[in-house]
Amino acid sequence: MNEPLLVAGTRPELIKMAPVIFALKRLKVCFKFLHSGQHYDYGLSQSFIDQLELPQPDCELAVKADNPAALTGEVVTRTAGAIRSVRPSLVLVQGDTNTALAATIAALKEKVPVGHVESGLRSYDWRMPEEHNRRMIDHVSDYLFAPTKTAYLNLQEEKTRGIKHITGNTVIDSTIHYVPKAEYVSRISERLLFKEYVLVTAHRAENVDNAEILREFAETLQGSPLPVVFPVHPRTLKRFRDSGLLERLLSDRNIQLLPPVGYFDFLVLMKRSSLILTDSGGIQEEATSPSIRKRVVVMRDSTERPEAVKWGFARIAGTGKENIVRCITQSLSCDKKLPARSPFGDGSSGEQIARLVQEITTLGHGPLPIPSQPDLIPALLRSRA
Ligand code: UDP
């Protein structure tokens, strides 16, 4: 029987694919694992494979490209080669990265079905490359694993052709599984300059590649009502350095800049923080986990994780200093209890997805037919009205 091929290329994909990998192992389903090398430095890739105790990838593409289109193209070509030699039952991709999009295109061209983990998220913000990727992946995938009902309804509304399941988000499984070990193993607390702090992360292109937003962000950090601990993503560090903002931040006694930290250290940093300020998607989810339970101020104009806002965990602050500082102050003084459960699942998502993958692999479902013309006609008429 052919095996599924699991694909990852960045740190969030490794974190979110880990629960599926371990559930497949428990079910004794053999699989192949491909790493594209989109994140190639040790701190963003191999250190995660080690800490998460993932198997070493069967195929490491180690792609090197200096722009997103070249990276996507190279991953398409090289993944298609891997697919031709493995002939997998299914290609399983996660999230909204260029690696996930490229592996999806490769599978499509090689006529292998695609399963999309974390399907149906929508920010409706077309400046975000992640929004382009997730829409393209969702519309050609055969199996759509939506984390929530909202995501499922987005897929239904857009008439995506794949078979849809609501599975929760595997990131919750990971926090539940790894937090106890992280608290035991991590030594990050010994390096912290502050007892109480706001934990910050930022690296979205539409924020850090925009000089005006980047300057406003640096001023926000300097105006924070509580000291700031900030593991800086390599992309953001480069932008700070190029724009001359780095010196200012390094000399501010209320700001502790760190290199990107490993997963265990980051889990502990989240758990000990008073609040999280971020433009990350995954961190909005992690903060709702029963193992973390923190408020998040989201430095963006929109979120593809509206459940975090509805459940009271997150506030959307935009990118202006004044509003972000106001949201930080309001969140710090809010004494309303956060829910004990997460809107993104109960820690069983990896198991649910692995069982579905097992079923697909044993039953050998092929790619689905395209929707029939009558299905499309009402949508076409509506769009012309
Ligand atoms: N993370 C980490 N170390 C860091 C910053 C983040 O381990 O210094 C983890 C974090 O727990 C989360 C993931 O990396 O699971 C988020 O990655 P990123 O912000 O790159 O991606 P996004 O979620 O925004 O797509």
What digits encode the pLDDT tens for the residues 224-254? Answer: 999 999 999 999 999 999 999 999 999 999 9
| Tokens at 353, concatenated | 């997805």
Asked about 39 being catalytic, the answer comes back as no
> What is the structure's pLDDT at 206?
87
Which residues does ligand 1 sit against, CB inside 6 Å? 11-12, 15, 201, 231, 260-261, 263, 266, 280-283, 286
283 C-alpha vs ligand 1 centroid, how far in Å?
6
Ligand 1 atom closest to the Cα of residue 261 is 8
> What is the structure's pLDDT at 367?
53
Ligand 1 atom closest to the Cα of residue 267 is 11
Ligand 1 atom closest to the Cα of residue 15 is 15
| Burial class of residue 384 (count of CB atoms within 10 Å of its CB; 0-12, 13-18, 19+) | exposed
> What is the structure's pLDDT at 313?
97
Cα 215–Cα 217–Cα 169 angle in degrees, nearest 5: 140
> What is the structure's pLDDT at 78?
97
Which residue's CA is minimally distant from atom 25 of ligand 1? 281
Query: Does the global pTM surpass 0.75?
Result: yes
169 C-alpha vs ligand 1 centroid, how far in Å?
15
280 C-alpha vs ligand 1 centroid, how far in Å?
7
> What is the structure's pLDDT at 385?
41
Is the dihedral angle over the CA atoms 342, 185, 272, 202 positive or is it negative? negative
Are 115 and 142 spatial neighbours (Cβ–Cβ below 8 Å)? yes
Which residue's CA is minimally distant from atom 17 of ligand 1? 12
Ligand 1 atom closest to the Cα of residue 201 is 5
Residues in the chain predicted with pLDDT less than 50, given as ranges, are 373-374, 376-377, 379-380, 383-385
Give me the residues paired with residue 201 across strands: 278
42 C-alpha vs ligand 1 centroid, how far in Å?
14
